[in-house]
Structures are given as C-alpha cells and as structure tokens.
C-alpha cells in the first residue's frame, strides 16, 4: 500500500515515523510549501518524490491514500482534491473549519467511493483504550457519569507557534480530543454548556474551558481542559478519567494508574510503551499515532469503516461549535438546534 503525505511540520514527523513502522505501507511522496521542511523530511525518511504543489503530486499519482497533516484552513480543498483523484484519505484534526465544510468533505469522499478517516488519536492512546475495554466489559456496570480532564502548563507554543495566533485555541485544538473521548465512553450528546477563559495574555485564544454534557442515554459528563494550570509533577500529555457506573467506579489517574473499584479493588499500570523513535513526555501521543494509522490500514484492507471516520467526527466537531456558541451566548446549546 503506497501513500503520500501533505504537510511536513512539527506533528507530521510522528506520522512519518509511524508509517515507517507499519508493515505493508510505504510513503512514496511528500508535499509542503516550505522547501526546507520538505527537503529535511524527505532526507530523514528516504522519500524521493517531493512537491510544493499538491495538484502536481496528485496529477503524478502512484499512491493509494494521502495523509493530510496541514492546518484546518486547507483541509476542505485538499480532501476534495484527493477525492477527485480517487484516493483514500486520513486527515488531521480539527477536521474542518465549519460543519458545512465537514459535511461537504464527507459527501465528496462518499461520492468517490473512498474511505475518509480523521486523525482523532486521543481515544487511541493505550491508557484510554484500557479504560474503554474495562467499561465495555461491564466492569463497573452502566456508566452514568464521566469526567474527562486535561490540565497542564506545558509550553505547546514553542513547537507549534501558530497555536498562539488563532482566535480559537484550546477547545478547537485540545478540547476536540477530550470531547471525542467523552463521546467514545458515553455516546452522542443532546445538550452542552461551556465556559472559557484566557489566562495567558500573550495568546489570542482561550486557554481554559469547562464543558457540561448531557448524553442521549441520560448520562452526564464534565469535560475540562487547561493550558494555564501549574502543577508538579507536570502531567502533560495525560488525559485523566473518572467514570461512575451502577456497579463501581473507574479512575485513570496521573502516572497512567488505572483503578477499578466495585466489590473489589484492582489497580493496573497502563503506561504506554516508549517506541524507539518516541520521546517523553510525548510518547503516549506518539504511540497512539501508530495505533490509529494501523487502524486506518486495517480498515482499508478489510473494507470496513474506521472508528473515527469523517462522518463520525462531524459529531465531535458539532460539540466544538456548540461549546464556542455556548460560551459566547452564556446559555446551554441543544445539539439539534443547528
């Protein structure tokens, strides 16, 4: 299976390393408008074909899928271009700038008869997967409450300076992951209420957000995220969980410690492995990149729909839009109100 990758920036290096790990896959072409980044990535990963124009790359063809690792403003044009050339697509989050764009992208790929998956990798982190396996096995009974929390003071702007420039920040960049985890555990959402704040005055967007979700099955979740939290030890990039069920509770605490409490108590170390090319503290996210990309390949081989398909991710994107609307208007948003 041959692939191409568009966007050779900071996070794309994780994708390129992960593709190299996956049997039966070869990235044969790279595209980036920054010639220095393009040349460095091509040299590092031994990729001969390089382009600064995506249309030229698609015109030359010779690949089965494309991995789009650019910022959100370019996603619709690139997804529609890929669909018009009949290749499968994995696209970085946030998937689309608007729900209308996202729906158009899903429609274009569906019309082309190809697979579209969103690189929504947080639910694929091995500690989250371990917690999900426990909940799905019935270990705590039916869940009725969940708190998903990501609070850190880590300097994400040094590696991704563009994050400081957008009018939207933490919900669009990080909260989208945490909202997706809440959906993965408790299902789709009826109502959402949110508050936001900007603590770091050197950035343009919000860096603290708290969201209250009422799920269609009657369960409630609290989703909170912050890049203004000073804590020691620093827990970046760990997502912490508390889930209450009718027969017990589950906690995923700092240090990748999973606790199940019911008639008995069970404590498990669910620390992610440190891949040869990974580095702490990013290794949790880096491992999930390989896992989600393997899932994409497995789905292409089996002809099945990816768990984080474009169509599924529209539901998470709708939560992001609802959160910004709620915070702006100071009211609860019903998801069907759009």
Q: What confidence tens digit (pLDDT) does each residue in 115-172 have?
A: 999 999 999 999 999 999 999 999 999 999 999 999 999 999 998 899 999 999 999 9
Read off the pLDDT of residues 38-51 as tens digits, 9 standing for 90 and up. 999 999 999 999 99
Structure tokens at 26: 């070869």
pLDDT tens, 298-321? 999 999 999 999 999 999 999 999
Q: Is residue 160 part of a domain?
A: yes
Q: Can you name the residues that pair with 53 across neighbouring β-strands?
A: none
Neighbour tally for 34: CB within 10 Å: 13
If phi > 0 it is left, if psi is from -120 to 50 it is alpha, else beta; for residue 240 that is beta
Residues 93 and 136 reside in one and the same domain? no
Indicate whether 255 belongs to any domain: yes
What is the CATH number for 34? 3.40.50.720
Side-chain half-sphere exposure of 80, counting CA atoms within 13 A: 11
Residues 136, 104 share a domain: no
Given 58, 85, 114, the domain boundary residue is 114
Closest to 58 measured CA to CA, from 37, 34, 79, 76: 79
Same domain, 7 and 79: yes
Q: Could you say which of 64, 79, 114 is where a domain stops?
A: 114
Task: Report the C-alpha gap between 13 and 17 in whole angstroms.
Answer: 6
**CATH code where residue 175 lies:** 3.30.360.10
Characterize the bridge pairing of strands 49-51 and 65-68.
unpaired
- Give the span between the Cα atoms of 75 and 81, in whole angstroms: 10
- Residue 149 counted as domain residue: yes
Domain boundary, last residue among 95, 114, 133: 114
Question: Tokens at residue 294, please?
Answer: 């393997």
Q: Are residues 21 and 70 in the same domain?
A: yes
Q: Are residues 201 and 329 in the same domain?
A: yes
Q: Is residue 301 part of a domain?
A: no
pLDDT at residue 336 in the model: 75
Q: Look at the chain and report how many structural domains it folds into.
A: 2
* 152/73 Cα distance (integer angstroms): 27
Average pLDDT estimate for 319-329? 97
Q: For residue 79, is it within any domain?
A: yes
Question: Does 157 share its domain with 73?
Answer: no
- The reply to whether 56 and 168 lie within a common domain is no
Q: CA triplet 29, 33, 37: central angle to 5 degrees?
A: 75
- Pick from 36, 50, 114: nearest CA to 81: 114
Among candidates 33, 19, 127, 18, which has minimal Cα distance to 63?
19
Residues 333 and 264 both lie in one domain: yes
- Together in a domain, 234 and 159: yes
**DSSP labels for 84-132?**
HTT-EEEEESS--SSHHHHHHHHHHHHHHT--EEEE--GGGSHHHHHHH
Residue 52 CA to residue 11 CA, distance in Å, equals 18
- Domain shared by 185 and 244, yes or no: yes
**Contact by Cβ (8 Å): 188, 214:** no
**Is residue 231, in this structure, part of any structural domain at all?**
yes
If asked whether residues 127 and 264 sit together in one domain, one would say yes
Non-local (6+) Cβ contacts of 139 within 8 A are 245, 248, 250, 260, 262
Residue 338: pLDDT over 70? no
Range of the domain at 209: 122-277+310-337
- Mean pLDDT in residue range 247-273: 97
Residue 295 covered by a domain: no
Residues 57 and 175 in one domain: no
**What's the pLDDT at 215?**
98
Between 74 and 160, whose confidence is greater?
A: 74
Residue 290 lies in a domain: no
How much is the average pLDDT of 205-217?
98
């Amino acid at each position: 299976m041959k692939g191409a990758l568009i966007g050779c920036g900071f996070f794309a290096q994780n994708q390129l390393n992960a593709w190299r790990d996956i049997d039966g896959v070869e990235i044969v072409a790279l595209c980036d408008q920054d010639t220095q980044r393009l040349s460095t990535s091509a040299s590092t990963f031994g990729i001969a074909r390089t382009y600064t124009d995506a249309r030229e790359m698609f015109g030359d063809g010779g690949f089965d899928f494309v991995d789009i690792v650019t910022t959100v403003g370019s996603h619709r044009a690139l997804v529609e271009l890929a669909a018009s050339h009949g290749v499968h697509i994995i696209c970085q989050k946030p998937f689309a700038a608007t729900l209308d764009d996202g729906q158009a992208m899903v429609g274009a790929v569906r019309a082309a008869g190809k697979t579209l998956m969103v690189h929504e990798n947080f639910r694929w982190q091995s500690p989250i997967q371990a917690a999900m396996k426990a909940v799905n096995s019935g270990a705590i009974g039916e869940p009725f409450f969940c708190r998903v929390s990501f609070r850190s003071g880590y300097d994400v702007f040094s590696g991704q300076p563009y994050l400081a420039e957008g009018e939207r920040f933490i919900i669009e960049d990080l909260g989208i992951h945490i909202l997706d985890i809440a959906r993965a555990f408790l299902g789709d959402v009826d109502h959402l209420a949110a508050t936001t704040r900007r603590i770091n005055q050197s950035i343009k967007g919000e860096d603290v957000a708290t969201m209250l979700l009422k799920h269609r099955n009657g369960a409630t979740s609290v989703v909170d995220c912050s890049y203004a939290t000073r804590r020691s030890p620093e827990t970046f990039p760990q997502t912490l969980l508390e889930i209450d069920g009718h027969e017990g509770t589950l906690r995923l605490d700092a240090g990748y410690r999973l606790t199940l409490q019911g008639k008995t108590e069970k404590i498990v170390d669910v620390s992610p492995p440190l891949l040869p090319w990974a580095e702490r503290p990013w290794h949790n996210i880096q491992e999930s990149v390989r896992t989600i990309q393997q899932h994409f390949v497995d789905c292409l081989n089996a002809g099945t729909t990816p768990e984080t398909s474009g169509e599924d991710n529209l539901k998470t994107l709708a939560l992001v839009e609802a959160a910004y609307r709620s915070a702006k208007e100071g009211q609860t948003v019903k998801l069907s109100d759009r």
